[in-house]
Chain A
């Protein structure tokens, strides 16, 4: 069974540019999550999809971040315009329906904003 995949693996952009990250969850997982880890700090929640609906987006830092999951399959996270503090590793995870099911993480996208 294929795991969670993310694209790109790395992205280096300049402040003010736009970047779009993609996540493909494990097939059949209705729950999809985005997280961010800034160097040396803990993993922070950004948002949670159930199928195509945003269940919880309380962790989204501001309106420069836009997440979509059209069709309830893959998801994209767009940052526009990017700022220096957006640098970090963005992880996507997916899980089956139930809070007591582990989330399986993708390899992450390492974003560097210069």
Chain B
């Protein structure tokens, strides 16, 4: 069984400040890790993902996350946030073993509400 822990439920920050949204996971097998973002009244959108290779992954809008196997973490960071980054952020883990024709089952954390203030 796998699980995702997002201890912080709300993170308020000022515009242009750095932010870190924490995510820890538990799994007995190799994992794929994801961050999804949900803007108000919208569906989930993939922000970034770690499948293999470089442990640092980046999104097109300045977010990055680093896979740390020893700490079982996949924290999301951004050096300078904008008002438009206000949203709910979900960390998720998939136990898809080989990826070849497999069906990924996502387990989500409870989500973190990021509120960016001017």
Do A and B originate from a single complex? no
Residues of A near any B CB (own CB < 8 A): none
Interface of B toward A, CB cutoff 8 Å:
none
